[in-house]
Amino acid sequence: MKVVVQNGANHALTRGVVEELVQHMPQTWKAALEQIVILASCGAKPTVAFHSKSKSLEICGPEDRKLLPQFVSELLISCSIIAEDGDMPGKISPSLRRHHAAVVSGTFALMSLH
């Protein structure tokens, strides 16, 4: 899986962080995506988009390092949804989010992002 960073110098979500996450992802997640694209900063709320034809997941990167856990969580939940469903809904329901947050928690229970 390829990791692409646009305007990388301005991101707290770095190529290194995402590449480390990718190394620990289940094979089914890796097979569901061709690339992860980290876009320019979008502020305090992560925005994620999936393009099924190109199997490309886009997420905007946070400028503030304090927001990194929220953005990483959104990225991993999105990867889990795409691997299980083959696509991503326009809006993630609370029950779907809880289910995939539990999957992510189990998958990355002991991993440190530092």
Domain containing 24 equals: 2-107
Q: HSE-up of 105 (CA within 13 Å, CB side)?
A: 6
Tell me the pLDDT tens digit for each residue of 3-20: 998 865 567 788 888 999
Q: How far apart are CA 82 and CA 102, in angstroms?
A: 15
Number of domains forming the structure of the chain: 1
Q: Hey, what amino acid is at 85?
A: D
Q: How far apart are CA 86 and CA 105, in angstroms?
A: 20
- In 3D, which of 42, 43, 41, 35 has the Cα closest to residue 18? 35
Q: Is residue 55 part of a domain?
A: yes
pTM of the model: 0.87
- Indicate whether 110 pLDDT > 60: no
Separation of CA 37 from chain center? 9
- Indicate the pLDDT class of residue 109, thresholds 50, 70 and 90: low
Q: Is residue 113 part of a domain?
A: no
Q: Is residue 112 part of a domain?
A: no
Q: Is residue 83 part of a domain?
A: yes
Supply the pLDDT for residue 85. 94
Q: What's the mean per-residue pLDDT of the chain?
A: 87
Higher pLDDT, 62 or 21: 21
Q: Is the separation of the CB atoms in 76 and 104 below 8 Å?
A: yes
Supply the pLDDT for residue 113. 47
Q: Is residue 114 part of a domain?
A: no
Supply the pLDDT for residue 114. 43
Tell me the pLDDT tens digit for each residue of 74-92: 999 999 999 999 999 989 9
